[in-house]
């Protein structure tokens, strides 16, 4: 007798608990303003990332196509996985001395782990985080970027 | 002419056979291969095969300087990335005898707890999914998104932050951090009731988990099962209580202990821990002292020669970092005692004699993260 009672009590409790759960889903079904889904590719125009978002490492240039990189190579040593390659050039200064400048600052985006050590280590604040995040390309060689723009030079007031 | 082979007739009912669960199986939450030996539907024994996602992190640490090691620890237990970072930072700070600013300790503690909630939310999603409730997945992820947004606003990334450095933080918290965390706590206090309605109170889930997958306190200790899974068996192993770091010694929180050690208890442990984590955050969030976000550190960190060990409470158990330094800027040897590896070792013991469907539930309740097992 008792076990039959328990049997039906179990069924009753199970149905009740299922209905409690379905109440939650039902509530959200009828309150569409609580839906949080972002329609990603459609909202590309309005999508704004947070200011500190780590999309990629960039080298900001000013209006005169000037950057702050001295080519010292500290970021190259700070990087844990060889993502950055610094290729230096030597130029002749007017006073006859030779000066070392950056020729190419190569950044292999495909290897970057976004740890931020290069940006922290750079003594002249030449690097920053960029907001771009759509990095999918068909050929991985496209992920090797040169951060200093062609023809760019260093801002005059940077001292080494 | 066809040859007739007479196979010996076996009684299939009694014969033991092996099946592979994984390496590609939705219920193992990653590339883990379990060779399950079955008799009918009953699990006789099981052998986990690890190593499918072994990246040699410990070896890689030997060529990296201490600040560089941080970003590798993110990639062990990626769901408690901040807490893993914390372990290495504490180790380096202890070895160099650096006193980090109070502000850093407060922020780190808050962020660790947020990370723990986020991790438990994702666990709840996947546990619900293991039990056949796919709806849970979306509710849990929806709330986890709020925490990830807070992280993203302050540190720029959502999963692998690398936001701690030896001596402090990579960058200060965002000015809106406190406001957003408080808003999240208020929001989540309300939403966690949905979790209880959807899954905790569900009779089908309770019947499948209560009294299944028992792990006694003695076995939990001898297998080294820590974290919520160990505490469900009554093993008091909370590093935050026993060896406080950060500002855990200043906050009031309970170490919740279970008695039975079954799957349901392991489930409840994590649900209750989310409440405790919220309590810890509430006590700290208004009292973050002003100050620097990092202590002054040398450009090149060289630990004095010797052995160091530091443990923290990651969201799945005790994470230990053992380091031998020979005085150079890179460690001589680095070893991680990852909680998931020890927790997994108990799986064979727990699941002997259960049905194969319950094995999925037990695995879900142990909440293993495979990259942490393999490292
Ligand atoms: S973010 Fe880290 S991995 Fe990427 S380039 Fe900078 S140092 Fe290297
Ligand atoms: S980016 Fe900074 S650290 Fe790297 S070479 Fe240029 S100046 Fe030096």
* Residue pLDDT, tens place only, B102-138: 888 899 999 999 999 999 999 888 888 888 778 888 8
CB A111 within 8 A of CB A81: yes
In this structure, what DSSP letter does residue A88 have? E
Rounded to a whole number of angstroms, the distance between the first and last alpha carbons of chain B is: 56
Looking at residue B196, its pLDDT comes to 82
B141 to each of A33, B55, B123, how far by Cα in Å? 17, 28, 10
How many of the other CB atoms lie within 10 Å of CB of A49? Answer: 16
Tokens found for residue B223: 């297998």
CB B293 within 8 A of CB B107: yes
Which domains are present in chain B? 54-374 (1.10.645.10)
Which residues of chain A have a pLDDT value below 50? Answer: none
Closest atom, ligand 1, to C-alpha of A114: 1
| Residue B370 CB partners (closer than 8 Å, separation 6+) | B28, B29, B30, B31, B32, B50, B52, B53, B340
CB B344 within 8 A of CB B46: no
DSSP string of A46-78, one letter each residue: T----TT---EEE----TTSEE------HHHHH
Tokens found for residue B70: 């941080």
**Chain B interface, best mutation among A117, A131, A132, by max B CB count within 10 A:** A117
C-alpha–C-alpha distance, residues B31 and B130, integer Å: 16
Kind plus residue range of the DSSP H or E element containing A13: helix A2-29
Distance from CA of A74 to the nearest CA of B (A): 11
Using DSSP's 3-state secondary structure scheme, residue A118 falls into: helix
Single pTM value for the model: 0.87
C-alpha–C-alpha distance, residues B216 and B234, integer Å: 8
**Which of chain A's residues have a Cβ under 8 Å away from the Cβ of B165?**
120
Q: Whose CA is nearest to atom 7 of ligand 1?
A: A79
Q: Which of A96-105, A129-138, B38-47, B360-369 has the lowest mean pLDDT?
A: A96-105
Question: Do the chains contact at A18 and B67, CB–CB below 8 Å?
Answer: no
Probe target for ligand 2 pocket from A59, A60, A102, A116, with the most ligand atoms within 8 Å of CB: A102
Question: Do the chains contact at A21 and B204, CB–CB below 8 Å?
Answer: no
Give me the helix-helix angle, B356-366 and B263-285, nearest 10°.
20
The question of ipTM being above 0.85 is answered as no
pLDDT at B200 over 60: yes
Which CATH number is A44-154 given?
Answer: 3.30.70.3270
Over residues B146-169, the mean pLDDT reads: 87
CB B120 within 8 A of CB B273: yes
Q: Whose CA is nearest to atom 4 of ligand 2?
A: A75
**Which of chain B's residues have a Cβ under 8 Å away from the Cβ of A50?**
152-153, 156
Protein residues whose CB sits closer than 6 Å to any atom of ligand 2: A 69-75, 86, 122, 124, 126-127
pLDDT at B1 over 60: no
pLDDT at B269 over 70: yes
Looking at residue B354, its pLDDT comes to 87
**Which of chain A's residues have a Cβ under 8 Å away from the Cβ of B160?**
113-114
- Model confidence pLDDT, tens digit, residues B288-336: 888 888 888 887 888 888 889 988 988 888 899 999 988 888 889 889 9
A97 to each of A82, A90, A100, B347, how far by Cα in Å? 31, 10, 10, 70
| Residue B100 CB partners (closer than 8 Å, separation 6+) | B93, B167, B168, B294, B295
Beta bridge partners of A58: A128
Secondary structure in 3-state letters for chain B: CCCCCCCCCCCCCCCCEEEEECCCEHHHCECCEEEEEEECCEEEEEEEECCCCCCCHHHHHCCCCHHHHHHHHCCCCHHHHHHHHHHHHHHHHHHHCCCCCHHHHHHHHHHHHHHHHHHHHHHHHHHHHHCCCHHHHHHHHHHHHHHHHHHHHHHCCCCCCCCEECCEECCCCCCCHHHHHHHHHHHHHHHHHHHHHHHHCCHHHHHHHCCCCCCCHHHHHHHCCCHHHHHHCCCCCCHHHHCCCCCCCCCCCCCCCCCCCCHHHHHHHHHHHHHHHHHHHHHHHCCCCCCCCECCCCCCCCCCCEEEEEEEEECCEEEEEEEEECCCCCCCEEEEECHHHHHHHCHHHHHCCCEHHHHHHHHHHHCCCHHHHHC
**Chain A interface, best mutation among B150, B203, B206, B301, by max A CB count within 10 A:** B203
How close is the Cα of B113 to the center of ligand 1, in Å? 27
Protein residues whose CB sits closer than 6 Å to any atom of ligand 1: A 57, 78-79, 81, 83-84, 112-118
Distance from CA of B149 to the nearest CA of A (A): 9
Q: Closest chain A residue to B204 measured between Cα atoms?
A: A14
φ and ψ at residue B186, rounded to 5 degrees: -65, -45
**Chain B interface, best mutation among A15, A40, A50, A57, by max B CB count within 10 A:** A50
- Residue B14's pLDDT band (cuts 50, 70, 90): low
- Model confidence pLDDT, tens digit, residues B227-256: 888 888 888 888 888 888 888 888 888 888
Question: Do the chains contact at B64 and A14, CB–CB below 8 Å?
Answer: no
Most confidently predicted of B13-22, B169-178, B197-206? B169-178
Rounded to a whole number of angstroms, the distance between the first and last alpha carbons of chain A is: 92
Looking at residue B216, its pLDDT comes to 86
Beta bridge partners of A145: A107
**Burial classification of residue B305, based on how many CB atoms lie within 10 Å of its CB (0-12 exposed, 13-18 middle, 19 or more buried):** exposed
C-alpha–C-alpha distance, residues A111 and B326, integer Å: 30
Probe target for ligand 1 pocket from A77, A78, A79, with the most ligand atoms within 8 Å of CB: A79
- Residue B204's pLDDT band (cuts 50, 70, 90): confident
Beta bridge partners of B310: B321
Cis bond upstream, residue B60 (ω within 30)? no
Using DSSP's 3-state secondary structure scheme, residue A150 falls into: coil
Using DSSP's 3-state secondary structure scheme, residue A153 falls into: strand
pLDDT at B7 over 70: no
- Cα within 13 Å of Cα(B353), Cβ side: 7
Closest atom, ligand 2, to C-alpha of A78: 3
Probe target for ligand 2 pocket from A124, A129, A152, with the most ligand atoms within 8 Å of CB: A124
| Residue A63 CB partners (closer than 8 Å, separation 6+) | none
Q: Closest chain A residue to B142 measured between Cα atoms?
A: A36
**Which of chain B's residues have a Cβ under 8 Å away from the Cβ of A113?**
71, 160, 162
How close is the Cα of B92 to the center of ligand 2, in Å? 26
Question: Do the chains contact at A54 and B170, CB–CB below 8 Å?
Answer: no
| Residue B196 CB partners (closer than 8 Å, separation 6+) | B271
Distance from CA of B152 to the nearest CA of A (A): 6
């Amino acid at each position: 007798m008792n076990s039959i009672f328990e049997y039906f009590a179990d069924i009753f409790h199970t149905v009740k608990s299922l209905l409690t759960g379905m109440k939650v889903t039902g509530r959200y079904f009828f309150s569409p303003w609580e839906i949080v889904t972002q329609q990603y590719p459609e909202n590309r125009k309005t999508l704004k990332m947070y200011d500190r978002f780590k999309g990629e490492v960039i080298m900001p240039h000013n209006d005169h196509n000037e950057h702050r990189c001295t080519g010292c190579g500290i970021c190259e040593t700070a990087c844990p996985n060889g993502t950055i390659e610094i290729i230096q050039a030597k130029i002749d200064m007017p006073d006859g001395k030779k000066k070392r400048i950056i020729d190419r600052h190569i950044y292999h985006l495909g290897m970057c782990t976004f740890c931020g050590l290069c940006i922290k280590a750079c003594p002249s604040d030449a690097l920053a985080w960029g907001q771009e995040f759509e990095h999918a390309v068909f050929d991985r060689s496209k992920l090797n970027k040169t951060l200093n723009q062609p023809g760019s030079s260093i801002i005059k007031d940077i001292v080494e | 002419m066809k040859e007739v082979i007479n196979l010996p007739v076996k009684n299939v009912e009694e014969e033991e056979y092996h099946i592979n669960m994984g390496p590609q199986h939705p219920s193992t939450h990653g590339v883990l291969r379990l060779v399950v030996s079955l008799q009918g539907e009953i699990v006789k024994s099981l052998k986990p095969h690890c190593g499918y996602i072994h990246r040699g992190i410990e070896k890689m640490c030997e060529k990296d300087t201490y600040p560089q090691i941080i970003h590798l620890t993110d990639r062990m237990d990626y769901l408690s990335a901040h807490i893993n970072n914390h372990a290495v930072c504490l180790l380096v700070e202890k070895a160099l005898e650096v006193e980090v600013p109070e502000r850093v300790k407060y922020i780190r503690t808050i962020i660790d707890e947020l990370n723990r909630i986020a991790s438990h939310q994702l666990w709840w999603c996947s546990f619900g999914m293991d039990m056949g409730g796919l709806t849970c997945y979306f509710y849990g992820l929806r709330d986890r998104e709020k925490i990830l947004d807070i992280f993203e606003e302050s540190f720029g990334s959502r999963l692998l932050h690398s936001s701690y450095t030896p001596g402090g933080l990579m960058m200060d918290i965002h000015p809106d951090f406190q406001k957003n965390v408080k808003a999240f706590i208020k929001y989540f206090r309300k939403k966690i009731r949905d979790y209880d309605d959807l899954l905790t109170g569900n009779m089908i889930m309770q019947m499948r988990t209560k009294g299944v997958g028992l792990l006694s306190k003695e076995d939990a200790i001898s297998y080294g099962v820590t974290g919520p899974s160990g505490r469900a068996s009554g093993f008091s192993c909370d590093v935050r209580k026993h060896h406080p770091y950060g500002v855990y010694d200043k906050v009031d929180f309970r170490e919740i202990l279970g008695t039975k050690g079954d799957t349901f208890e392991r489930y409840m442990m994590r649900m209750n821990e989310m409440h405790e984590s919220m309590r810890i955050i509430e006590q700290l969030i208004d009292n973050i002292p002003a100050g620097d976000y990092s202590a002054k550190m040398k450009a090149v960190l060289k630990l004095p020669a010797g052995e160091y060990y530091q443990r923290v409470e990651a969201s799945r158990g005790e994470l230990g970092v053992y380091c031998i330094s020979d005085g150079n800027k890179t460690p001589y040897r680095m070893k991680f005692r990852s909680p998931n590896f020890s927790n997994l070792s108990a799986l064979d013991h727990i699941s002997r004699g259960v049905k194969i469907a319950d094995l999925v539930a037990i695995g879900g309740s142990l909440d293993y993260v495979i990259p942490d097992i393999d490292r």
